[in-house]
Amino acid sequence: GQQLNQSPQSMFIQEGEDVSMNCTSSSIFNTWLWYKQDPGEGPVLLIALYKAGELTSNGRLTAQFGITRKDSFLNISASIPSDVGIYFCAGPGGTSYGKLTFGQGTILTVHP
């Protein structure tokens, strides 16, 4: 099956720093999604990407759909304490609608 490798697994940063994380796939994707999970909550969609090379922003978050269609990147600028959580990349888990494959997640800790 399709696999997503997400890196880094965890990050410890100071408030105000920029953050970068990425996700690579063993196969080509036509959609990339980035989710954030706050402690004790379900994942919430941050950004959806549908076209190779696409660059999309959501406030301080920017995500890019890699040209090869096998990778995606998420950047967070000027981090703040509420950015703490787990960030997941996800893509279609096959040809059937409704199926998603998730990366292992990047755990982000922001020190004030």
Binding site for other proteins (CB under 8 A): 1, 4, 6, 9, 31, 33, 35, 40-45, 48, 88, 90-93, 96-105
- Gap between the Cα atoms of 80 and 77, Å rounded: 9
Instruction: Give me the least distance between CB of 15 and other proteins, in Å please.
Output: 26
End-to-end, the C-alpha distance of the chain in Å comes to 40
Instruction: Give me the least distance between CB of 36 and other proteins, in Å please.
Output: 11
Which lies closer to other proteins via its Cβ, residue 5 or residue 68?
5
- Gap between the Cα atoms of 9 and 7, Å rounded: 5
